[in-house]
Chain A
Amino acid sequence: QVQLVQSGAEVRKPESSVKVSCKASGGTSSTFGISWVRQAPGQGLEWMGRIIPVLNIANYAQKFQGRVTITADIATSTTYMELSGLTSEDTAVYYCARDPGVAALIHYFESWGLGTPVTVSS
């Protein structure tokens, strides 16, 4: 059973950056993908981007291009999402979610982290 353990809640000031981590454990596939999905208070789910750690290939939603960077550390099975230029509209819970990756034809989020609340406030 795959588990995704995320870092703790963060509070940031406007125009600063935040970096959230997601450590994966369990599972047998090494070619999985990790996406970052955020959810603003009372709102729906929003896909931000995805990385395939073993290939170090990342894709981003155009909305976040230039502001988000997703990286992975294979040695520690940890994926990171860094978001810069924060505004109050970035206040949200940030989830990491795992998909089967390049070994599969179908991509779906089979496991989710518990979420990391990020609050942007002056």
Chain B
Amino acid sequence: EIVLTQSPDFQSVTPKENVTISCRASQSVGSFLQWYQQKPDQSPKLLIKYASQAFSGVPSRFSGSGSGTDFTLTITSLEAEDAATYYCHQSGNLPWTFGQGTKVEIK
């Protein structure tokens, strides 16, 4: 089973700051890495697929990069509505797995 480790676990950020979240895989997943956003009491929502492809309707301030074992989600100029927990997810190998999540709080 591929283990995804996100860092940091928690980040407190002021609006308009840039946010970077890392996701490291225990073995290569190619580019089969997604990012989801989950707000309290809501279902997760897809932000980025295939490491760097923004999903339909996702604001341009969200971007993804990386391949193999190291991936990054970047939120450029954070907005208050971006307060949420962010998860990476690999679909390169069964069983599919998720990172433990990174909670982003607005200062």
Contact = CB atoms under 8 A, between A and B. Distances in A.
Interface of A: 35, 37, 44-47, 50, 59-62, 95, 97, 99, 106-110, 112-115
Contacts of B13: none
Given A44-B100, A44-B101, A108 B46 contact: yes
Interface residues of B, number: 23
Nearest to A46: B98
Interface of B: 1, 32, 34, 36, 38, 43-46, 49-50, 55, 87, 89, 91, 94-101
- For the residues of B in contact with A, the DSSP-based class is loop
A110 B36 CA distance: 10
24 contacts: A37-B98, A45-B38, A45-B87, A45-B89, A47-B95, A47-B97, A47-B98, A60-B95, A62-B1, A62-B95, A95-B44, A97-B44, A106-B91, A107-B91, A108-B34, A108-B46, A108-B49, A108-B55, A108-B89, A108-B91, A109-B34, A109-B36, A109-B44, A112-B45
A110 B99 contact: no
Contacts of B98: 37, 44-47
